[in-house]
Chains A and B, each alone.
Chain A
Amino acid sequence: MQELDIAGMGSTRVTRKGNNLVVLEKDLQTEQMVLAMGPQHPSTHGVLKLECLTDGEVVTHAEPYLGYLHRCFEKCCENVDYPAIVPYTDRLDYLAGMNSEFAYAITVEKLLDIEIPRRVEFIRVIVAELNRIASHLVAIGTYGIDLGAFTPFLFCFRDREIILSLLEWASGARMLYNYIWVGGLAYDVPADFNKRVMEFVTYFRPKTVELYKLLTENEIFVKRTRGIGIMPADVAINYGWSGPMLRGSGVKWDLRRNDPYSVYPELDFEVPVPDGKVSDIGDCLSRHLVRALEMEESLKIIEQCIDKMPSAEGFNARSAVPKRVRPKAGEVYGRAENPRGELGFYIQSDGKSTKPLRCKARSSCFVNLSAMKDLSKGQLIPDLVAIIGSIDIVLGEVDR
């Protein structure tokens, strides 16, 4: 039994019994209620559990409980070969499988020190950016639902469906692709793929505007998110935030720019950060805006990649794929910019086996979510929902 020091709770004493908070002594002035939000709750995006102490509508303490989706990724990794880990990485951040595969592939390639054909790199960037758009669409759509707007969600899913069909056409699966392999790709993209992607880009641009008008600009939406859940930049860095979350706090930090990999250095794109005009820096609205603007940047990247991509002639997507992945002994920490932030892999190889000795996934959601406890103190329940939504967690990655 451990007594918790929970600020702002007056003389209410709380203890933890097993996995639950128990109110020991009630302060009669404000009686706190222990409220379990999740694991089955519409706004916890899966199976997160938030244990809240509430005083009326005010949340005085909210603690995330994880592990309801702990799927033993790291244990599985230690038991399968390097290439066979790829499908498991898909299942980390299942909304952005391509990006996870990408991060894993470049990490192992770093360890293996191999050269990748240029066309592969471009295809990887295209599919990863497409998947980033798809993932942001889900983030934005579900954020709409969290705040009570249902229609934007369906519009987002409608457009996401197109991306999924494009990716399925390329890779054979809709969500969990196993497409980016260590050293290459599973297959080359279909012949008409580039054309169809360009068509998608032209199709999608007006849709983002519509979405922006329907949701982001809506006064109610702005009022619900502006100034809520403010995270100062230095604390955000200290929390290890990355990706749109960190950029939402005004730090211009994007691994595609700041620790470039693949062909990103050759591409021209902006790293959107809030300017404090429409939103307060570091609040939920900023994070939402960053995501909304990033979709536009991804479209730009896709266009450039399709322009610059070498032709398919004489191209073999698996030409650099090693027959047997057995890296030399050593350790590596590789990372890539996922839609949710920095996805890193720490891999330790003993140089003998084809299985990693240790493969740890540093997941952005896990890290981003860890600030939840701090952010939620003193918020109203609706604001709590707005904050969780703006963190945009994917439990598969949080719990691994």
Chain B
Amino acid sequence: MGLLDAGIKNHNVLVTSVDNVLNWARLSSLWPMGFGLACCAIEMMATNASNYDLERFGIFPRSSPRQSDLMIVAGTVTMKMAERVIRLYEQMPEPRYVLSMGSCSNCGGPYWEHGYHVLKGVDRIIPVDVYVPGCPPRPESLIGGLMKVQELIRMEQIGISRADALKKLAEKSVDPQFVIESERNAASA
């Protein structure tokens, strides 16, 4: 039972600062699993490549799930693949994060209606932390999504579960509708 497992209730200064350091380390060194499924994976590769260079954030793809912290589900998950995705997810050591990249893994995307063999959203099989929309998402969006993951990690604390952190974030986050509203206002102005 490690510190990250412990349900420490009272947060004093020490715990918080330890927390901050640990979280900082985790968010600064997110190693995603090199795991491309479909078209989105190409955009993921493009994001890893020189022009966007994810390594700036310390993001450094590993090919074995054992050494990765983040699973970027980049592309269409099919029924045949679903079990493998679960297995690969399970084989990642905790703490682990999942980022669903692209419409397909968000909810089946273009194939949600007629794609009999497409899993309609990877959140049906593994818990997803961040959804990145787009088909395929631009590298910018993927980077934005990764920053969201970092935000989530920053929120986590010893003794505070992921769900709680997400709840906290939800409190903090701005309603997208509001953003759209302002966008609308800007457009009309």
| Chain A–chain B contact at Cβ < 8 A | yes
- Residues of chain A touching chain B, judged by Cβ–Cβ distance below 8 Å, are 39-42, 46-47, 67-72, 75-76, 78-80, 87-88, 91, 94-95, 138, 153-155, 157-158, 160-161, 164, 174-176, 395-396, 399
User: Considering only CB atoms, which chain B residue lies closest to A97 in the complex?
Assistant: B39
- Residues of chain B touching chain A, judged by Cβ–Cβ distance below 8 Å, are 33-39, 41-43, 45-46, 49-51, 63, 65, 75-76, 78, 80-81, 84, 88, 110-111, 113-118, 135-136, 138
A71–B117 CB distance below 8 A: yes
A46–B41 CB distance below 8 A: yes
Instruction: From B38, B46, B50, give the contact of A395 (CB < 8 A).
Output: B38
Instruction: From B39, B113, B118, give the contact of A94 (CB < 8 A).
Output: B39
B81–A47 CB distance below 8 A: yes
B36–A161 CB distance below 8 A: no
Shortest CB-to-CB span from B92 to chain A, Å, is: 12
Which residues of chain B have C-beta atoms less than 8 A from A87's C-beta? 110
Which residues of chain B have C-beta atoms less than 8 A from A399's C-beta? 78
Which residues of chain B have C-beta atoms less than 8 A from A40's C-beta? 33, 35, 65, 84, 88
Shortest CB-to-CB span from B137 to chain A, Å, is: 10
B35–A68 CB distance below 8 A: no
Complex CA gap A153/B33 in Å reads 19
Complex CA gap A105/B41 in Å reads 26
User: Considering only CB atoms, which chain A residue lies closest to B41 in the complex?
Assistant: A46
Known pairs A47-B81, A76-B110, A174-B43. 10 more at Cβ < 8 A?
A: A46-B36, A68-B37, A68-B81, A70-B80, A75-B116, A94-B42, A154-B49, A155-B50, A158-B49, A175-B136
Q: Top 4 closest A-B pairs, CB basis?
A: A157-B49, A94-B39, A72-B115, A76-B114
Complex CA gap A258/B110 in Å reads 35
Complex CA gap A46/B117 in Å reads 17
A71–B135 CB distance below 8 A: no
Given A70-B78, A72-B116, do A42 and B63 touch, yes or no (CB 8 Å)? yes
Shortest CB-to-CB span from B175 to chain A, Å, is: 28
Complex CA gap A138/B42 in Å reads 9
Given A91-B110, A157-B49, do A72 and B39 touch, yes or no (CB 8 Å)? no
A–B pairs, 25, beta carbons within 8 Å: A40-B35, A47-B37, A68-B78, A69-B38, A69-B75, A69-B78, A69-B81, A71-B76, A71-B111, A72-B114, A72-B116, A72-B117, A72-B118, A75-B115, A75-B116, A76-B110, A91-B110, A94-B42, A157-B49, A158-B49, A161-B51, A175-B39, A175-B42, A175-B43, A176-B135
Instruction: From A69, A79, A80, A161, give the contact of B46 (CB < 8 A).
Output: A161
